[in-house]
Structure 1
Amino acid sequence: MKAARSCLLCVTVVFVVIAVLCHVIALATSSWLKSSDDRVINFLEIGLWQACFDRYLHTHETPHRTYDGCHELGSNYYASIRDWLVPGWLVSCQVLAVIALLLQIVGLVFVLLLLLWVLCRWICCNGKDDPCERILLYATPIIWIVTGMFLMMTVMIFADNAFRLQCKDYWLEGGEPNANHLSYSWGFEIAACIFSFISGGLLIWVVVLKGREKF
């Protein structure tokens, strides 16, 4: 039973690492929403932290200003249009994604500590229960399930609002409603969400195996 638990934890570590990597890629790249036809609207792509334009003329500014290239949403380059460029729902996505990353880091540390703890007890043949192991055993799956929920909210809020709000103002200006599409960065966030839930499920299984040892 202990060998099965150790193997299951090793598999869980792999899924945990994949989940963290997918989330980091999603945060580091800007292809969450991408233009299908940048010749029409001069919008290239936007992510949680960066937006890219191709000689886009912002008609709501006086005097009008042309925006070109990729720049951070919080940079001085977008200072005059930041309130318009970064709506409340996008700020919510940023906050949720950062919280999810912090939870992932904590969850990764907990999983590694739990794996080392189980391996040490298995090698040393120490059958005595330890309160620290019990805390890690029950806290770690909760962390990863909650992380999956935060990632799921990020994915859903972005997908639900990206097409309905900002798009009708400038991302679809002069174009068709399907001129933009969700891109690979958003896909990596979905993958991070799925792998986080899988990690939580595997850790719950570890708890079940631990409980069976007592019978």
Structure 2
Amino acid sequence: AYQNIRDWLLPGWFMFVQSMMTLALMFAFTALVLVSILLMRFLLRFEIIVLMVAFILEAITSIPLFLSVAVFGGMCFERSWLQNPIYNHLSWAYALAVVAFFFHTVAAMMLLGETLKARERRRRANNLIYNMQPRLMSGTTEPAARLYLFPADGTSV
């Protein structure tokens, strides 16, 4: 009996919306796990890479969300889908899907900004460590700090 009305209850566009929302859920959950790992301060050595992957996942999440919101919004009033189409209306779940699309897009932009800031922080930290190394005096192989702080003849400075 269900096989007879399956195409009527689940048209192709509705299955497309379901599959896009499922993909978006998987990508969003994976991005959430990565951001949680960074929040707990694990994998700080790979902070830039994890942030970039989380950005890519959030950006990919917003694409199927947009597609599903657009397709469902355009096709939900189709007269052949449900009985009494005059009583069909978009409810709070559709509004939450639109809000989710907006927030995932904003989250992707914020993760991109944080990735760029982390890259700059890493660059500055590496430069700071590099600049902390003692410099060689011209014409010698000894660092300048050792020559001035610890003279070879044992006399104090």
TM-score (norm 1): 0.52
Match of 1:147 in 2: 61
Q: Which has the higher contact order (CA 8 A, sep 6+)?
A: 1
Match of 1:170 in 2: 83
Match of 2:116 in 1: 208
Unpaired runs of at least 5, structure 2 = 125-157
Unpaired runs of at least 5, structure 1 = 1-75, 122-129
The CA deviation at 1:204 is 1.0
Matched, 1:99 2:23: yes
Give the distance between the partners of 1:208 and 1:134, measured in 2 at CA.
8
Amino acid at match of 1:109: V
CA contact (8 A) 1:97 1:154 kept: yes
The CA deviation at 1:170 is 3.3
Q: How high is the sequence identity, in percent, across the aligned residues?
A: 27
CA contact (8 A) 1:103 1:143 kept: yes
Match of 2:11 in 1: 87
The CA deviation at 1:165 is 5.3
Indicate the structure with greater strand content.
Answer: 1
Where do residues 126-145 of structure 1 align in structure 2 (5 Å cutoff)? 130=45, 132-145=46-59
Deviations 1:9-28 (A, max 9, x none): xxxxxxxxxxxxxxxxxxxx
Give the distance between the partners of 1:165 and 1:144, measured in 2 at CA.
35
Larger Rg: 2
Where do residues 3-152 of structure 1 align in structure 2 (5 Å cutoff)? 78-117=2-41, 130=45, 132-152=46-66
CA contact (8 A) 1:117 1:133 kept: no
Q: What RMSD over aligned residues (CA atoms) do the two structures have, in Å?
A: 2.2
CA contact (8 A) 1:96 1:153 kept: yes
CA contact (8 A) 1:93 1:154 kept: yes
C-alpha change, 1:91 and 1:165, in structure 2 (3 Å) is farther
CA contact (8 A) 2:48 2:119 kept: no
CA contact (8 A) 2:48 2:118 kept: no
Out of 49, 73, 84, the residue aligned to residue 159 of structure 1 is 73
The CA deviation at 1:138 is 1.0
Amino acid at match of 1:140: A
